[in-house]
Amino acid sequence: MRTSKERAPIYEMLEAHAAKRPISFHVPGHKGRTDWGVPGADQRYGPLMSLDVTELTDTDDLHHPQGPIAEAQHLAADCFGADETQFLVGGSTAGNLAMILGTAAPGELLITQRNVHRSVIHALMLAGVQAVLLPPAIDISTGLALIPEENLIEQTLARYPEAKGVILTSPNYYGLSTDLRPIVERCHAAGIPVLVDEAHGPHYGMHPLFPQSALQAGADVVVQSAHKMLNAMTMGAMLHMQGKRVVREAVLQALRMVQSSSPSFPLLASLDLARRRIHTEGPQAFEAALSAARRIRQLVSGTRFRILHAEAREISDGVRYDPLKVVCYDEWGQWDGFAVRDLLAARGCHAEMADARFVVLALGIGSTYEDGEAAGQALAAISKELGAARSAVSGEHAPLSGGLLLKAPQVPEPVRFDRQVKNVISVPLEEAVGRTAGEWIVPYPPGIPELFPGERVTVAAIERLKQWNRKGAQIQGAGDPTLSRIRVWD
Ligand SMILES: Cc1ncc(COP(=O)(O)O)c(C=O)c1O
């Protein structure tokens, strides 16, 4: 007798439907057939097409689920420890839009961090809200941005008790995070819900070597890209809710606005199957991926490359890392992350991302020991080719920290977001003080916006921009990357 968690209700429904060999007089127009006349494509897509159906009496409706979708979402809530889970077919992007649109009305105030995915900023714009954008804490050993300091959040809560929510992004793209629980507790004590973009952490809390999940830390709404680290298809994500601080119906209403009325059933079924895998196998499901990470570390030791973290749960000052993100760098700083990424790609190993220092290998539940072997061997071969010894390099050991450390960050003024396109003019940098920024200005690295369109330009912001310029940071977003002029609202 199978327990319910062994079921995959959406997938089973699709199989049963296809087995009836139904003659389709409904959308989609392909009618379950591949007749593109491209043999390879017909073969690849063939088996999938009969599962690509629409809302029928025996299927279900994502926006009003009562059958297999409702059952699958209940199972997911049980698996991830939520009170309620919604399946997303538009990635975490859709989840971020909905959680924010569902939490604050136009003109209301939210608190978040400057280093957010653009979907968070787009949500603030669509919602027409004000947001206090806090500078993130910087991990000293790596220069990578985390969430804002707890003290700063506390000061912000005291100054803006009317805030409708605190939105955090954790873990970051590199798999670094800090404990969310103390912040969640402070926010809850102030009666304010915590919404977490946990796009990169759908596996958190699922294995003793992974950090705690945002739901385990008590967050009210959590968005996870199941497609990033679990084995759901691309765009498959989940939005989880717990407790009563957020009006769930408002989030559901927003989801109906931002998601298609024709969600992909193969995609929904892949979410169901991804949940089933971890629900039934538990931590065991991640052992192969962890063995891949270990293998890369083994093969890289003794080469010129280093992996950011040893296999320990904490690295420094309470910063935790994701063992499935293998963050690699050239110890002597001669080869930047982009170059190493390209050298890896030339050997068939395609990394998730690279920056001026690091190359990030994202493992996932589908990774195998052999994948780790391939990446490790590739890095070892690249190291050999480049010369493993420091003497091969003339330059200094490049510092790991690329961050501009803010000693005692102040609580900034809120930025008023809206969707209207404004007339902008270009003015000399110094003359922008007191005006409203008309463009994003993002020093890279670390890629944290110093100015958002709609943000008042302060003397401090101009000083920081000058510092970035002096440090030689590349300025992204700005019409004039040398920053002698910037665009402001007319
Ligand atoms: C932190 C963060 N949030 C949200 C997203 C959007 O996720 P998705 O691609 O699932 O829409 C991303 C995408 O990379 C991300 O890095």
Indicate the top mutation candidate among 119, 120, 267, 353 to test ligand 1's pocket, ranked by most ligand atoms within 8 A of CB. Answer: 119
* Separation CA 206–CA 285 (nearest Å): 9
Question: Which pLDDT belongs to residue 129?
Answer: 97
pLDDT along the chain (490 residues), means of 10: 83 96 94 94 94 93 96 97 98 98 98 94 95 92 90 97 98 95 98 98 97 97 98 98 98 98 98 98 98 96 88 66 95 91 97 92 98 98 81 42 57 90 92 93 83 90 88 85 92
Percent of the chain with pLDDT over 90: 79
DSSP string, 17-70: HHHT-PPP-SS-TTTT---SS-HHHHHHHHHHHTT---S-TTS--TTS--SHHH
Indicate the top mutation candidate among 88, 92, 176, 260 to test ligand 1's pocket, ranked by most ligand atoms within 8 A of CB. Answer: 92
My answer on whether omega of the bond before 414 falls inside 30° of 0, hence cis, is no
Does the beta carbon of 91 sit less than 6 angstroms from any atom of ligand 1? yes
Does the beta carbon of 5 sit less than 6 angstroms from any atom of ligand 1? no
Q: What is the Å distance from ligand 1's center to 304 Cα? A: 31
Question: Which pLDDT belongs to residue 389?
Answer: 57
Measured from the Cα of 234, ligand 1's closest atom is: 10
* Separation CA 252–CA 107 (nearest Å): 21
Does the beta carbon of 170 sit less than 6 angstroms from any atom of ligand 1? no
Q: What is the Å distance from ligand 1's center to 170 Cα? A: 11
Indicate the top mutation candidate among 195, 225, 228 to test ligand 1's pocket, ranked by most ligand atoms within 8 A of CB. Answer: 225
Does the beta carbon of 197 sit less than 6 angstroms from any atom of ligand 1? yes
pTM: 0.94
* Separation CA 268–CA 261 (nearest Å): 13
Which residues, in sequence order, are CB contacts of 66 under 8 Å at separation 6+?
Answer: 60
pLDDT digits (tens, 9 = 90+) for 23-71: 999 999 999 999 999 999 999 999 999 999 999 988 999 999 999 999 9
Question: Which pLDDT belongs to residue 248?
Answer: 98
pLDDT digits (tens, 9 = 90+) for 303-316: 999 998 765 555 66
Q: Count the helix, strand and coil residues of the chain and give each as a percent rounded to the nearest 5.
A: 35, 15, 50
Residue length of the chain = 490
**Atom 9 in ligand 1: which residue has the minimum CA distance?**
91
Q: What is the Å distance from ligand 1's center to 427 Cα? A: 34
Q: Pick from 171, 370, 365, 399: which is nearest to 284 by CA?
A: 365
Contact 326, 293 (CB under 8 A): yes
Contact 181, 218 (CB under 8 A): yes
Question: Which pLDDT belongs to residue 403?
Answer: 44
Does the beta carbon of 117 sit less than 6 angstroms from any atom of ligand 1? yes
Q: What is the Å distance from ligand 1's center to 322 Cα? A: 16
Count of CB atoms situated within 10 Å of the CB of 470: 8
My answer on whether omega of the bond before 9 falls inside 30° of 0, hence cis, is no
Q: What is the Å distance from ligand 1's center to 195 Cα? A: 15
Does the beta carbon of 142 sit less than 6 angstroms from any atom of ligand 1? no
Count of CB atoms situated within 10 Å of the CB of 162: 8
